[in-house]
Amino acid sequence: MNPCPRFGFVVAYVDDIAAAKHFYAEGLGLKVEREAPNFVQFEHFAIATDASMDGKRNLEVYWLVPDAEAASVELSARVPLSMSLRTLAFGKVFGVLDPDRQARYLLELSAIRPSRSTNG
């Protein structure tokens, strides 16, 4: 299987989700696509107040894959993993290390996610 990841989004961790949402939506004019009490997603960018993958609240870059388990097995033979496969409320995710030792994440989105779509 070729996991063929496609770019998903970047997550920035914020202290005040309401103030950050106002800044990005009202100030910059970004359209909210999905939201939950601790998460707001715009096109290819999201803000969150919950726990980050590495516990440091660094920017997180995600690529989407159709099958995270298969992608994890295949990619672990070619690149170092930074985090083994985890199943979370929003999907299955694992991390890889880029050449600069920065964690990057591959995600299979869950069909049922805690955030709700704002379309329609």
Instruction: Annotate 84-103 with three-state secondary structure.
Output: EEEEECCEEEEEEECCCCCE
- Give CA separation, 22 vs 3, 25, 52, in Å: 36, 5, 21
Extents of the domains making up the chain:
6-112
Tell me which architecture the domain covering 6-112 has in CATH: Roll (3.10)
How confident is the prediction for the chain on average, in pLDDT? 93
Q: What is the pTM of this model?
A: 0.88
For residue 36, name the pLDDT band (cuts at 50, 70, 90): very high
Q: 101 — alpha (psi -120 to 50), left (phi > 0) or beta?
A: left
Q: Confidence class of residue 120 from pLDDT cuts 50, 70 and 90? A: low
Measure the CA angle with vertex 110, ends 24 and 36; round to 5°: 35
pLDDT in tens, 98-111: 999 999 999 999 99
